[in-house]
Chain A
Amino acid sequence: MTQVSPLQAKDREPRAVMIEARNVEKWYPNGYHALRGVDLTVHQGEVVVIMGPSGSGKSTFLRTFNGLEEFQSGSIVIDGMALGNDLRQIGAVRREVGMVFQQFNLFPHLTVLDNLTLAPTLVRGRSKAQVQHQALELLERVGIHEQAHKYPGQLSGGQQQRVAIARSLCMEPRLMLFDEPTSALDPEMVQEVLLVMLELARGGMTMVVVTHELRFARQVADRVVLMAEGEVVEIAPPEQFFNTPQHPRSKQFLSQIS
């Protein structure tokens, strides 16, 4: 297991800041105050797990990082690019940020291979042959290269989610966002997806993961963030978060899920 404690990380040279979210506020059109001044800094190579009860705003917060959700005040800077109303800037951010969804969201009308090659050829303008080569390598890495010419509907949930991860990786992102990647899976398929994510973390990918998987958070996360009612309640290394939570809200959450 990766045992990079934040202390060790700080001993090394200071790493580049990947996500810098300051005082982010979001209201839904119906007036619901989803994010109430949230701060978060994520460094390059860091794995941050966001936990919290449903309705705490954790998915919403994650989705602001690639412009899928707008926010009304505060600032978010991704890899040096400020997210605002500039559509071109949002496009530039999305090219560098991969996202994996709870419902996989593979394109059902395209084969697995075409799911992977669509964006790199269209967005990066790379040659199809070259991208296909890379895509097959990625599929091999996530263990499903035999299925490259099948359609998503012919795969199991776990396989689909691994394809979705490979699809994001094919864009060679600098940051990966995971929005409850195992919540829609049958229990026996959760592990195969978590293993792929673990490998990815070991490879040094910067990851922000919204999940309820305690084991994954314990073993892989550098820091755990607890959100409740649209606010960040506690940020701590996993041992500290799970063993000696500071905030009463954290204690309550942990007692509810364990």
Chain B
Amino acid sequence: MDPRLKSPSRLARLRRDLFGTPLDGAITIALLAALGAGAQALLNWALSRADWAVIQANSTLLAVGRYPMAQQWRLWLLTGLLCSATGASWGLLRRRSWPRNDRIAAGLLLAMALVVPAALELGLDVRARWWAIAGLLLLARWAAGRWSHRLPLICQKLWPLAWPGLYVLGLGLIGGGLGLQPVRTSQWGGLLLTLIEASFAIVLCFPLGIALALGRRSELPLLRWGSTIYIEFIRGAPLITLLFLGQNILGFLLPGGLAPDRVWRAAWVLTFFAAAYVAEAVRAGLTALPRGQVEAARSLGLNSLQTVLHVVLPQALRVALPATVGQFITLLQDTTLLSLIGLLDLLGTARAIMANPDFLGRNAEVYLVLAVLFWCCCAALGLGCRALEHRLNRHSSTASR
């Protein structure tokens, strides 16, 4: 092998990248110093000056709000189910291989399951639940990867359909009914409420956005104008305005059972709001599709619906996916506005905690935890979507045109 082609050692490469010229070296040193100072200050604050009692005392409130203690087993059960399903999907995606990223993720999960409950000074029984759930996730990941090849192909293909079913089951478990004691929406709060609102809006705004994007490009004038007016109206109004408006008018705009109270009205407003933005992302995907694709499909005899389902959308959504995921992440963060209309979402709960005279002046701790929680949720969403994107784009890995 030509020695010039040999890759330099890691140390040599690092030295070349960071200290290539005197200026590079100066910048590197300055940045390292700044980073070090920042990290030291943060650590110093977190370990000596911060008082984490506010988080320890309110961890349940932050997680689920005023959800009745006696019914919390339902949430643990749901978390267990969700984690098993996540593990199974993960395993089906990766089969038997454990690439380095997966090993890091598994290690982080285990570390979190050990450290977080201990840091919160939870009781031993609750800690055991954390361990069980983390174990369940990794076990499902391992089992699905190990034995997926034994499953009939049809089961693997239909597996994603388990998620909507699980979602409906989850709402049933949280809200009660069918023999379970009902838990009113006013008792939902904290991270639980944030996740319910965000996931409801994400799940529904996606098909609605696709429909709006197709409507905006439809040949039927009424449909086209209607979609355009809707999208432009929603995009022209701030979300907070729409949230207040929705609380007042959604009660009689939507059929009675759909928006019975403030929580569901807010969820619908978030859905309708995000749908307009998703529609624009999807429209960009539709515009990027060469006209010849539709012509080829039509000349093969496919009707309009078949053309859209089998040729247009599979390609357009691939293009629209990154922008759409960005929209989902924004949506998750936008749920903090719910605290302004009086709902006790994560931010609303946090403000309630900070208003408690026992924990005066502990805002920094609460806000930091909030930021980390949101970061974790968004990172999970982004990671999942990147995996999906990677999988969908297999065909273009060596594409030339």
B298 at the interface (CB under 8 A from A): yes
B291-312 residues with Cβ-Cβ distance < 8 A to A are 292-293, 295-303, 306, 310-311
Q: Is there an interface contact between B296 and A153, defined as CB atoms closer than 8 Å?
A: no
Binary flags per residue of B309-347, CB closer than 8 Å to A gives 1, else 0: 011001100100000000000000000000000000000
- B299 and A66: CB pair below 8 A? yes
**How many angstroms from the CA of A118 to the CA of B310 in the assembled complex?**
8
In the bound complex, residues from chain A placing their C-beta under 8 Å from that of B100 are: none
Interface size on B, residues (CB 8 A): 25
User: Are A101's CB and B292's CB within 8 A?
Assistant: yes
Confirm or deny: A40 has a beta carbon within 8 angstroms of a beta carbon on chain B. Answer: no
1/0 per residue, CB under 8 A from A, across B372-401: the answer is 000000000000000000000011101111
Say yes or no for A145: interface residue by CB 8 A criterion.
no
Of listed B293, B299, B306, B395, residue having the most chain A CB within 10 A: B299
Which of the residues A97, A101, A109, A151 comes within 8 Å of B296, measured between beta carbons?
A101
Give the complex CA separation of A118 and B301 in angstroms: 10
Cβ proximity bits B350-381 to A, threshold 8 Å, 1 near / 0 not: 00000000000000000000000000000000
Report yes or no: B396 in contact with A97, Cβ–Cβ below 8 A: no
By DSSP majority rule, is chain B's interface helix, strand, loop, or mixed? helix
- Whether A151 contacts B300 in the complex (CB less than 8 A), given A103-B290, A107-B293, A109-B314, comes out as no
Is A42 on the interface with B (CB-CB < 8 A)? no
Check A105–B302 contact: CB distance below 8 A: no
Contact present for B395 and A168 (CB under 8 Å): no
Task: Give complex CA distance A94, B296 in Å.
Answer: 11
What is the number of residues of chain A that contact chain B, defined by CB distance less than 8 Å? 29
A111 to B399, CA, bound (A): 12
The residues of B that contact A101 with a CB separation of less than 8 Å are 292, 295-296
Q: Which of A98, A119, A154 contacts B399 (CB 8 A)?
A: A154
Contact B301 A108, beta carbon cutoff 8 Å = no
B301, B394, B399, B400 interface centre (most CB from chain A within 10 Å): B301
Interface pair B293/A99, CB less than 8 Å apart? no
Q: Are B301 and A153 in contact (CB under 8 A)?
A: no
Assembly CA distance A111 to B401 (angstroms): 14
A/B interface sample: 22 pairs, CB < 8 A: A68-B299, A91-B301, A94-B298, A97-B299, A99-B299, A101-B296, A103-B292, A105-B292, A106-B296, A108-B395, A108-B396, A109-B318, A110-B395, A118-B310, A119-B300, A119-B301, A122-B310, A123-B302, A153-B398, A154-B398, A154-B399, A154-B400
Given A153-B401, A154-B399, 15 further pairs, Cβ under 8 A? A98-B299, A98-B300, A99-B296, A105-B293, A107-B297, A109-B314, A110-B395, A118-B310, A119-B300, A123-B301, A151-B394, A151-B396, A154-B400, A164-B296, A171-B301
Which residues of chain B have a CB within 8 Å of any CB of chain A? 290, 292-293, 295-303, 306, 310-311, 314-315, 318, 394-396, 398-401
What 3 A-B pairs are tightest by C-beta distance, nearest first?
Answer: A153-B399, A105-B296, A119-B300
